[in-house]
Amino acid sequence: MDVTFSRYDPADFLKTEEDIAAYLQAAAEDGDTALIAAALGDVVRARNISKLSRDTGLSREGIYKALSGEGNPSFATIGKIAGALGLRISFQPNQTAI
């Protein structure tokens, strides 16, 4: 008997603002900037990419490329995308910092 699995896509489970905030917070806690960008890309896929493109002035392809795990988006790009998604970026003290 063959078992077929469907591909897991986190974007399928990011339904509420709370889901999105918790997902991005977990990615940010890891500290890996590529992971944070990829997680933000998952959020973008969960939303309307065409509207996001219009709201940010960035092309759909540019957004996908910047937020792929291998992209290196500028802070300005991250800020535009976060703002268009209704998110805000915040900073907290690192408890392990000396």
**Local confidence pLDDT in tens for the 98 residues of the chain:** 888 888 989 999 999 989 999 999 999 988 888 888 889 999 999 998 999 999 999 999 999 988 887 778 899 999 999 999 999 888 888 777 66
- As a whole number of angstroms, the distance between CA 95 and CA 93 comes to 6
Provide the residue ranges of all domains of the chain, joining segments of one domain with +.
11-84
pTM of the predicted protein model: 0.81
Give the model's pLDDT for residue 32: 87
**Confidence (pLDDT) at 78:** 92
